[in-house]
Chains A and B, each alone.
Chain A
Amino acid sequence: MTVTSRAGAVASTVPARVPHRHRSGQWAAWAFLAPVVLYLVAFYAWPLYRNLDLSLRHYTVRSFVQGDALFSGGDNYAKVLTDPTFGPALWHTVVFTAASLAFQFSIGLALAVFFSQHFRLSATLRALFLVPWLLPLIVSASTWSWMLNSDSGIVNRALELAGLGPVNWLTSPDWALPSVIIANIWIGIPFNLVVLYSGLQAIPADLYEAAALDGASGWQRFWRVTFPLLRPVSAITLLLGLVYTLKVFDIIWIMTRGGPTDASTTFATWSYRLGFGNLLPAFGPGAAVGNLLIIMALVFGLLYIRIQRRQAT
């Protein structure tokens, strides 16, 4: 926490020194920035440009290598928009994102409130909660795959004990999407917990004391004091979570490959499958789906930046 609190405390009191914008100073400043600028051009702008280019041309495997594909305008986009996968993929992306966020946030918030009560071991246990977030996604995804295995997974065994029938978690069209959502919620809880916990720490303790003196119950204190004061941090957590969740690819691909028959396909996995998942790659449409995904991410990303800037001032 020290890094954040120190950086945060000083960031708000940026020295009011009159800026010396000497020409030589500017040269030096940009000399230090030169690596990152070159880097952004080479490793962000160029791949994104290539991606845009892919989506606007008619590529075959041969022309992909030789680079002489014909310009085809919006053909790839039209193809993607009229594809029978488009509707389901959009719907699954929305459901996956909304369900993941709702549960990650509410569970994370409940845990943050619980852990902010300072009991023995609370700091240690809170640290252990970070583990799911730190594990490589392939590790989490394959562990969940095995736990949700229809025949021998521990989850179905537990359901059996409770007298419930086995569920074909990963292989039935009805359960594939809920399965990947469950795994994704598990992975996302630590992030919400940590950020919301730090938000809770920023609420002055005397507000709670005043509310308690006025006779507010624990439940009332949460809804009348904690929740309203936590709203700025909540907004940022949710929006950032949204941007991150939109691009989730690994978990879904490793657990279900978007299947069975598109039952858990989102924009991210669809884009990948078009470009890399088939023997005959469809780079153009794949890039087009990817660019639609970028637009979705950027809309919410800009909203996030706006809210964050407004809060900073």
Chain B
Amino acid sequence: MTKPLKTAVGVLLTAIMLFPVYWMINVSFTQDTDMRHDPPYLFPVHGTLEGYRAVLDQQLPYLGTSLFVGLGTVLLTLLISAPAGYSLAKLRPRGGGALSFVLLIAQMIPGIIMAMGFYAIYLRLGVLNSAAGLILADSTIAVPFGVLIFTAFMTGIPDELVDAALIDGASKWRTFVSVILPVSRNAVVTVSLFAFLWAWSDFVFATTLDGGGTEQPITLGIYRYIGNNNQQWNAIMATAVIASIPATLLLIAAQRYVAAGITAGAVKD
């Protein structure tokens, strides 16, 4: 195969792979009356924004909640996993290996089972249907991954850098805050990115722990749409398009971190 031909094949394969995404966007602009047109319109010929108008009318509170939950999850995940990563990478705690092992196992527990346990606890504590409760639950997806990434990254920071700070009289905490964290920017970005994306996309915890009340995330907004007005597919798809915006932005802005995060989560210990 010549190189231009390879590029052509690559473009074709990508087009096939992304067809569902294109179709989602196409349907989001299609008029209700054209939705069942035969043959289907491959482009939004009589394009309409009524789907997006419906989103603006009905889905803004859901989007707001999702944004809040996403940012809260990022913050909580960073607060817990960054110090842990520093300790495991540089301070050689006795039993650190066992803790890493526990975290690796924790990552593998199905969310639906965690959800059931959380439900039993939240019901008793009365924190069902709250954004705060959802943040706590969502962070369980990201914290083990965060510790793993921070540990791997901080192991790579030269010991001389840490030692120099300690010799200058800085405490371990001070070293962590003003030496380790600044040079760990890449790890912070990677962890934040995934924590946000996972919290934003979460459906399992949302539907079990946050299915009622006023603080529901966008995933439930879409889910209710599907359940309630089966016919208004342009509104459903418009919501789906809006819900995909964070993922798209992150991919554009931080593609190398995404690829790095996926690989590190899988292959690195």
* Chain A interfacial positions (CB closer than 8 Å to B): 1-4, 6-11, 14-15, 17, 19-21, 25-26, 28-30, 32-33, 35-37, 39-40, 43-44, 46-51, 53-54, 64-65, 67, 111, 114-115, 117, 119-122, 125, 127-140, 142-147, 151-152, 154, 157, 161, 186, 189-191, 194-195, 198-199, 233, 236-237, 240, 243, 246-247, 249-250, 254, 268, 271-272, 275-276, 283, 286-287, 290-291, 293-294, 297-298, 301-302, 305, 308-309, 312
The contact of B120 among A50, A114, A250, by CB within 8 Å, is A50
Bound: A301/B104 CA distance, A:
9
Contact B255 A54 (CB under 8 A): no
Contact in complex: A191, B10 (CB < 8 Å): no
Least Cβ distance of B76 to chain A in Å? 9
A138, B243: Cβ atoms closer than 8 Å: yes
Given A3-B264, A26-B94, A146-B27: A130 and B251 within 8 A (CB)? yes
Contact: A132 with B113, CB < 8 Å? no
Within 8 Å of chain A (Cβ to Cβ): is B226? Answer: yes
Residues of B within 8 A of A4 (CB): 260, 263-264, 267-268
CB-based closest 7 A-B pairs:
A47-B117, A247-B110, A136-B201, A29-B93, A29-B91, A10-B156, A32-B87
How many residues from B make CB contacts under 8 Å with A? Answer: 110
Which residue of B35, B80, B208, B223 is within 8 Å of A35 (Cβ)?
A: B80
With A119-B7, A283-B120 already in contact, the answer to whether A28 and B156 are too (CB < 8 A) is no
B247 within 8 A of A: yes
Chain A residue contacts of B268, Cβ below 8 A: 4, 7-8, 11
Looking at chain B's contact residues, is the secondary structure mostly helix, strand, loop, or mixed? helix
Partner of A51, one of B18, B116, B153, B172: B116
Instruction: Supply 23 A–B pairs (Cβ within 8 Å), ascending by A.
Output: A2-B260, A8-B264, A11-B156, A11-B268, A29-B87, A29-B96, A33-B83, A44-B106, A47-B114, A50-B121, A64-B123, A117-B6, A120-B4, A131-B247, A136-B201, A139-B243, A152-B35, A195-B263, A198-B259, A199-B267, A268-B112, A308-B267, A309-B269
Residue interface bits B60-96, CB-to-A below 8 A is 1, else 0: 0000000000000000000111011011100111101
B110 engages A136 (CB within 8 Å): no
Indicate which residue in B105, B116, B257 contacts A286 across the interface (CB closer than 8 Å): B116
Contact A301–B256 (Cβ < 8 Å): no
Interface of A: prevailing SS: helix
Q: Is the CB of B93 within 8 A of A30?
A: yes
